[in-house]
Structure formats: structure tokens, C-alpha cells
Chains A and B, each alone.
Chain A
Amino acid sequence: MSGEKPILEIKDLTFTYAGAETPALKNINLQIFEGEYVALLGLNGSGKTTLQLCINAVIPHMIMGDMEGSVTVQDLDTAEYPTRELAKIVGVVFDNPEFQLSQMSVAEEIALGLENLGVAVEEMNPIIHEVLDIVGLSGLGDRSPFELSGGQQQRLSIAAALAMRPQILVMDEPTSNVDPIGKEEVFAVAAKLNRERKMTVIMAEHEVEVMAAYANRIIVMDHGEVILNGTPTEVFSQLDVLEKAGLRVPQVTEMAYRLEHDRSAHWNSVYPVTTEEAFQRIAPLFGGKHD
């Protein structure tokens, strides 16, 4: 990917909320490229949400505070472009689905963004159909958003963001208020968008197993700083660093780590992070057929 221009570039970003003593973000430097699926990990209060709010210019335009450094989205400096002007580039999904919905029907909820962009009414219905289809809510256009299940509501929030054809989808713990089945639905939609539409996904999550499977980059935050930034294998192999930050690694990684220490298995400090990977590497230890 070297040489390519990043779709999102964060340079020396430091942000302190108005009235706060310590900065919520400290000297963040990041480059994110088109088509990446980036998982943001970190404890509550580590700065994940703050960082995400910087991406679509909610910080510094809607939330007061002291911002240094720059955030550039598709060559647009967020200091100059307010959130509403970035809506066509960055779509956002927040943690509480109910707090994002406001309209009388599912179709109108999606149309809201299109109305604000001035999209012609004839073009709206095809777009509404398409995005409802992508998130698997076809046929629910006339329902009230508040009658949907949590997972459906969150997928509707995704659809509403998608309707504006963003290149980046920022999701802030999109499954934290959703039941287990709803969680799967939301993750599946995000993965599909990333795979099939080359959508750049930046997701803050606590579900390390899921992130290990879907993300191609993991960024770990602790006390407002980026402490790890790399592929899932690179990041999850740093067990001690993660542990210090109070974070868990995927269960299979943990098991591999313990196998190495108790049973002197050798992974060369590169641990498996998904069940599939773990199977591939552990199976040979038991002999028998493998390929």
C-alpha cells in the first residue's frame, strides 16, 4: 500500500475537552487507506470515541475543546469543513441505535440524509431500496424505526449512513446496545460492505474475536495514545502490552500463548488470532494428516 494516498490522515492530533485537565487524545498520528477494515480497541475512556468524532469533524465543530494537529479526510481538513459537509464522505453509526433515529418510518429515516443533500425525489426510492437490501431490511420501509429490534435499528442506522454514499464508515461500538443475534447481523453487514464495496470501515469494538476475524488492522488505544498499530497477528502477539492496557486477546491467542509457556510449543512470537488459524497451526502437533 506504500505510495498510495491515505483516505484519512491524522497528524499530531491532541485534543482536550473543554474543562478537562488531561488531554483525551495525545499526539495521534495515523494513516488509513481506502478499503481497510480498522478495529479500534481500548478500554472505555481510552479515547476511541473521541478519535472517531474527530474523523467527521464533530470535533472541533460541535464539541468544544482544545484541538492541535490536523485531521484530513480525502484532502479535506476537518478544521475547515463542518460535519454536515463531510456527510458524503464519512458515514457514522453510534452505539445507541435509538438515539440516532428520528423519523416516522424506515424509508423516511433513510430519506432524511438524501433530503438534506438535495437528492431528487425520483432517485430516492432506488437508493432506499438498495441500502435496505444491503443491510437486510428489505420490505420494512413503512415500519416505524422504533418498532424494530435493536439489531435492526442499528442496521437501519448503517443504511441511513450508506444512503449518502460515504467512502468511510465510522462505527462507535455499534453492537454495545444490541442482543447477540443483532451483534452478528451488524458485524456481518460491516464485513460485507468492506469486502464487496471496498468500504473503509473504522470500528471501535470490545469483541476481540470478531475483530481478529474481520479487521485487517488493529489500533490499540490507552489513555489517549495509540500504543499498538498493526495487523491482528502483529497486535495480538503483543500479549504483555495488551495486558498492561487492560485488554484481552482472542481466546485462541491466549491458549497458544499458554501452550508456549507451559508445554513449550513454539510460535516464534507470532500467535494465531482466529480459530481457523489456530487449528491450522495446532493440528500438526497432534500428528496425523494435515496440509
Chain B
Amino acid sequence: MRGVVIPISMVPGNSVIHRISPLPKLLLAGCVLVLSFSTRNPAILGALIVLGMVMVSVANIWKPFLRVMAILFPILLTLITLQSIAPAFPRPWTPIVSMGPFTIYQEGIYSGVTMVERATSMTIFALAAIMTTHPSDLFASLQKIGMPYVLNFILTMTLQLIPILQKEFTTVLSAQKSRGLKGTGFAAVLPSMVPVFVGAIERVQQLSISLESRAFGSSGAKTSYRSVKVSWVDYLLMLLTTFGTCGLLYWIITDPSLDWSRTLIFAPWLAITLFTLATIGFLIFVIIAIRVVLRA
């Protein structure tokens, strides 16, 4: 049964990014994570985002990528709203404008914008890595870099169970509809929970017996069917990534002029516009989400 698709899963393709072994991709995603948390410079974070978008373009995964971002970005926008009025920044704060009980601070806008950039850059690289890698290869790679077998297995199982539970949910909903119960809206979802979860528990029990019957958990050495091939190109890429990251980190740490929090001044109109747009964007998202849930 197709039809139910996990939003974050592999998008088949044959781009350069698809063909690179998962290890350099995972490393790059990790490096970007480190980098984006070590700087608040909007230009560097912006550059990372652009680089990430180049990767998305090369891999040709814009559509699924934007689908995930459409959910994520409005949530991220709350950062701007909240940060502007309560910055996570050492005082003193410089007020830009006051609107009733709220004051928008310069540091707040700066902090909000950089946080959104930070989260976006991390997400882009992580998504690009996940969307261009077959899940099995991804797990094989994780295992290769030392993730415990059982933990890896739990992750694989979880990914498998999501579509199965969705399918079971649909079945239960249709069954209830056919007995004249309400088939849509939140009122229909609640009574379906019990049968779906009881079914899930039964499934897990049966599965554990099944797995045990196939020697799962037996003592002795295990082997792994899926293996990731790492070529010299991959090693080169990993080397480049590591060096690039180290270089950037060195620059970030040693160059104090990269802190633009006091120099990048937001004009009052820009601050208000950003604040309003972020708030409206988030509210629209919330309204759409509620409507979708109620109609489901």
C-alpha cells in the first residue's frame, strides 16, 4: 500500500548528491550544525543557507523539500516574534519601537533573524542528506560510525511502523463510518485511538516473537547485509568538509568583527514589518493546521 508517504523520506533520483555515499552527507550535516551554532553572523548563516539550496537544486528535491519547509518555516517564524520582545541576549537591550505593552528590541530582531537562519541552514542540510539517501544505506552508515545495532533497529522499525499505523487508522475510521459513527473531524479520531493502539501493541508482541524466532538477540557476532561503500571521492569530500569547517570555525572564533549585533541596525519600519510578517505567517499556519485537523 502506497499512498501514505512519510514527508521526510528518500526522494528517488540519480543526481551527484544521490550518488555520494551517505557518510560525507551526514558529516556535512553535522558540520553545518556545529557551524551554525557557533556563529550569529547573519551573512555566514545566509551563505550556509545558499549553499544548502544549491545542494537541494543539484539533487532536484525542491518539491518535497518545500513541502517540509512549508510546515517548519512558519513555526520557526515564532522565533522572530518572541525574540523581538524578549531577546535571548545579554542586556542592555536597545528598544526600537514600542507597541502598547510590547517593545521591540534591536537585539531581539537580530537574535530572532539569526536563529531562524540557524535553524533553516541546519534543516536544509539534514533534509538534503536524508532525502537523497536510501533509508537502509542511512542506517548502515549510522551503524558504521558506531550507532548500536539495537538502537538502529528501533529507528528502522519506527520508520516502518508509521505508515502501517496510518493505514490501520484509516481502516478503523472507515469501519466506524460504516457503523454510522462520525467519520470526520476530531470527534472521530479519538475513539479510533484505542483500537489502533491495542492493535499496535498486539503487533509488537507478535513481532517480537517472530524476531526472536529468527535469532534476533542471539549471542555471537552479527553481520550486516547492507554495507556502504566509501570511495576515495567520499574520503576526499569528508576531508574537504572537515578542513572547511575547521577553517570557518577558526575565523568565527578569532574575528570579533563578525559580531554584528550592535552594528547591523534595523530601522523601525523594517523591525515592525519583520515582526508583523512573522506573527501573521505563524497565525495563518495555525489556522490552516486547525482546519486540516478538524477536517481530517
Which A residues form the contact surface with B (CB < 8 A)?
53, 56, 58, 62, 82-85, 87-88, 90-92, 94, 96, 98-100, 102-105, 107-108, 111-121, 124, 146-147, 157, 160-161, 164
Contacts and interface: CB of A to CB of B under 8 A. Distances in A.
Contact of A146 (B157, B164, B227): B164
Contacts of B208: 62
Given A83-B213, A116-B222, A94 B206 contact: yes
B211 interface: yes
B5 to A, nearest CB: 12
5 contacts: A84-B212, A84-B216, A87-B213, A114-B225, A117-B220
B221 interface: yes
Q: Which 6 A-B pairs have the closest CB atoms?
A: A111-B225, A113-B214, A87-B215, A116-B215, A99-B206, A84-B218
A102 B156 contact: yes
A58 B215 CA distance: 12
Nearest to B199: A99
B216 A104 contact: no
B207 interface: yes
A58 B213 contact: yes
B184 interface: no
Contacts of A105: 136
Nearest to B225: A111
A104 B225 CA distance: 12
B249 to A, nearest CB: 36
Nearest to B163: A146
Given A84-B215, A108-B225, A94 B1 contact: no
A124 B225 contact: yes
A121 B212 CA distance: 21
A121 to B, nearest CB: 6
Contact of A116 (B1, B207, B214): B214
B60 to A, nearest CB: 22
A147 B2 contact: yes
A104 B136 contact: yes
A115 B225 contact: yes
A277 B217 CA distance: 48
B168 to A, nearest CB: 10
A131 to B, nearest CB: 13
Contacts of B64: none
A278 to B, nearest CB: 38
Contacts of B144: none
Contacts of A121: 223-225, 227
Contacts of A90: 213
B209 A62 contact: yes
Interface string B227-255: 10000000000000000000000000000
A113 B225 contact: no
Given A88-B215, A108-B136, A164-B215, A118 B223 contact: yes
Given A102-B157, A102-B160, A104-B160, A115 B223 contact: yes
Given A114-B225, A118-B223, A121-B227, A87 B209 contact: no
Contacts of A118: 220-223
Contact of A161 (B214, B216, B218, B223): B214
A97 to B, nearest CB: 10
Interface in B184-222: 202-203, 206-218, 220-222
Contacts of A146: 1, 160, 163-164
A90 B209 CA distance: 13
Given A84-B212, A121-B227, 12 more contacts: A53-B209, A58-B209, A85-B218, A99-B203, A99-B206, A102-B157, A103-B156, A113-B214, A115-B225, A118-B223, A121-B223, A146-B1
A99 B214 contact: no
Interface in B1-55: 1-2
A124 B225 CA distance: 7
B214 A160 contact: yes
Nearest to A125: B225
Nearest to A104: B136
Interface in B168-194: none
A92 B210 contact: yes
A73 to B, nearest CB: 13
B291 interface: no
Contacts of B226: 108, 111
B124 to A, nearest CB: 25
Given A94-B209, A96-B206, A147-B2, A117 B218 contact: yes
Contact of A104 (B156, B213, B218, B227): B156
